[in-house]
Amino acid sequence: MGDEPTDLWICPRCGARLVGRNMWHSCGTFTLEQLLSRSEPPVVELARRYVSMLCSLGDVQIIPQKTRLVCVARVRFAGLYPRRDSFLASFALHRWLASPRIVRTADYGPRWRGHFVLVRAPADLDEELRAWLQESHDVVGLHSGR
């Protein structure tokens, strides 16, 4: 695709792409349906739409894990945490966002600001969320921080 991440190590067991050889990661093979097995059916469809949104950002790898989904360009930059009737869309930025849509934040160090948005309905997967995810992909996801 031209802008694909280079010099990444691919885990031979699970296929995860990582910035360094043998980096710790949640090594396993799970499906989106397994991750969302305790969620209501409409949440599964919302999650599929969210994954499509993540895939539209550029060359990414979507990795469903046991308790979450992560989205990787060069590094993890976004994800999903399931709930029964919704999910939390997560993403990292180098800045804090001030929005009533942000239901939780996490400080991951001097350059990583985690943000969480509650997704309950298709309207929550809007252009504002997509713009935040695109910024996360472009600013955080494509840079290893090394």
Tell me if 109 is assigned to some domain. Answer: yes
Tell me if 12 is assigned to some domain. Answer: no
Q: Which pLDDT does position 55 carry in this prediction?
A: 97
Tell me if 61 is assigned to some domain. Answer: yes
The CA distance from 121 to 143, in Å, is 31
15 pLDDT higher than 70: no
The CA distance from 5 to 18, in Å, is 10
The count of domains in the chain is 1
Tell me if 21 is assigned to some domain. Answer: no
Report the share of the chain in percent with pLDDT over 70: 79
4: confidence class by pLDDT, cuts 50, 70, 90: very low
Tell me if 9 is assigned to some domain. Answer: no
DSSP 78-94: EEEEE-SS-EEEEEEES
- The whole domain housing 41 covers 29-141
DSSP label at residue 56: T
* pTM, to two decimals: 0.80
110: confidence class by pLDDT, cuts 50, 70, 90: confident
Tell me if 55 is assigned to some domain. Answer: yes
23 pLDDT higher than 80: no
